[in-house]
Amino acid sequence: MAGILYAIAAGIIIAMQGAMNSRVNEKAGVWMTTTFVHGTGFIVSLLLYLWLRGGSLDNVFQLNKGYLLGGVLGVGIVVGVTLSIGQLGAAYAVAIVLVAELVFALAIDSFGLFGSPRVAFEWNRIIGVVVMIAGILIFKWK
Spatial separation of the C-alpha atoms in residues 51 and 118, rounded to whole Å? 34
* Full domain range(s) for residue 101: 2-140
**Helix residue ranges, H only, 1-142:** 2-28, 30-53, 70-88, 90-111, 123-140
When pLDDT is averaged across residues 47-60 and rounded to a whole number, the result is 79
Residues, the chain, total?
142
When pLDDT is averaged across residues 84-103 and rounded to a whole number, the result is 94
Contacts of 26 (CB under 8 A, 6+ apart): 86
Total domains, the chain? 1
Q: For 14-23, write each residue's pLDDT tens digit.
A: 999 999 999 9
More confident residue, 113 or 61: 113
pTM of the predicted protein model:
0.83
Residue 55 has pLDDT above 70, yes or no: no
pLDDT band at 56 (very low <50, low <70, confident <90, very high): low
Residue 62 has pLDDT above 90, yes or no: no
Per DSSP, the three-state class of 1 is coil
Residue 142 has pLDDT above 70, yes or no: yes
What's phi and psi for 64, nearest 5 deg?
-60, 125
Residue 50 has pLDDT above 70, yes or no: yes
Question: pLDDT > 70: what percent of the chain?
Answer: 98
Write a three-state SS string for 51-84.
Answer: HHHCCCCHHHHHCCHHHHHHHHHHHHHHHHHHHH
